[in-house]
């Protein structure tokens, strides 16, 4: 027979989720954040309680986790909406995963061929992103450069690193704290499409800005 503890954990998490659905769209990242936070909070409390007599800790952990997850999800929903409105650029993709925002800029619009200098027309979009990051200061920012597989792997690694650094420099030059921004290249190692077609290679040439909320 299952312990009451293991029965209660999913019940508590389900209760938290059903409560959230009364307030939020079930497809929103806020709702997903609440559900994930509630589940993790409940599991964490269960792991540390060590006794079925401390089932109350599971409920409290789920409630706290749900509140934290909901707050993060709500922040990301709002930040994504603000950024889409301010950018107004359909070439820039903004994906809210529920725990992070991933802003993807094709390198073909950011840089001239074989260059790591951001074209002037896109510097304004990066300034807009920098202002958005200042409006939401409790986040860290990873700037990751990617290439297709044209040319040598070593050259692609070096180019992707220089391009990521160029984007990060514009963000910090426009007010984002250097301590929040980390830039590095992945070269050709993480394609998102086939390198066998021109269209696929274009998708692989990109800079991703990954925005992750902190606990602060």
Would residue 199 count as lying in a domain? yes
In the block, residue with structure tokens 């986040």: 139
Query: Does pTM surpass 0.85?
Result: no
> Would you state the structure tokens that stand for residue 91, as one six-digit string?
């070439």
- pLDDT band at 216; cut points 50, 70, 90: low
Report the 10 Å Cβ neighbour count for 155: 14
Q: Classify 70 as helix, strand or coil.
A: helix
Instruction: Write the DSSP assignment of 90-125 as a string of letters.
Output: TTSEEEE-SS-EEEEEEHHHHB-TT--SBPHHHHHH
How does pLDDT run across 66-92, given as a tens digit for each residue?
445 567 888 999 999 999 999 988 999
Residues 24-57: tens digit of each pLDDT: 444 455 555 555 555 555 555 555 556 566 555 5
Whether 5 is in a domain gets the answer no
**Which structure tokens are listed for 173?**
């030059």
Average pLDDT over residues 6-22: 47
Domain annotation covers residue 182? yes
Residue at 31 is within a domain: no
Residue 128 domain-assigned?
Answer: yes
What is the SS3 assignment for 24? coil
Q: Does residue 129 form part of some domain?
A: yes
Q: Is 8 inside any structural domain?
A: no
CATH of residue 114's domain is: 3.30.1330.60
**Residue-range definition of the domain harbouring residue 205:** 71-213
pLDDT given for residue 21 in this prediction: 44
Work out how many domains the chain is built from and give that number: 1
Q: Tell me the average pLDDT of the chain.
A: 81
- Predicted confidence at residue 31, as pLDDT, reads 54
């Amino acid at each position: 027979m299952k312990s009451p503890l293991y029965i209660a954990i999913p019940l508590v998490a389900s209760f938290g989720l059903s409560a959230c659905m009364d307030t939020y769209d079930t497809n929103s990242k806020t709702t997903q954040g609440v559900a994930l936070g509630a589940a993790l909070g409940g599991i964490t409390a269960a792991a540390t309680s060590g006794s079925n007599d401390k089932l109350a800790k599971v409920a409290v952990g789920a409630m706290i986790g749900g509140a934290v997850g909901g707050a993060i999800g709500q922040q990301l929903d709002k930040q994504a909406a603000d950024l889409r409105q301010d950018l107004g650029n359909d070439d820039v993709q903004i994906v809210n995963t529920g725990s992070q925002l991933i802003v993807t800029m094709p390198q073909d619009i950011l840089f001239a061929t074989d260059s790591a200098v951001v074209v002037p027309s896109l510097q304004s979009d990066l300034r807009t992103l920098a202002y958005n990051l200042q409006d939401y200061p409790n986040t860290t920012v990873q700037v990751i450069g990617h290439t297709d597989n044209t040319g040598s792997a070593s050259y692609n690694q070096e180019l992707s690193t220089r391009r990521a650094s160029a984007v990060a420099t514009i963000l910090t030059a426009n007010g984002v704290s250097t301590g929040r921004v980390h830039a590095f290249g992945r070269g050709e190692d993480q394609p998102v499409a086939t390198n066998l077609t021109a269209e696929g290679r274009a998708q692989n040439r990109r800079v991703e800005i990954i925005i992750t909320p902190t606990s602060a």
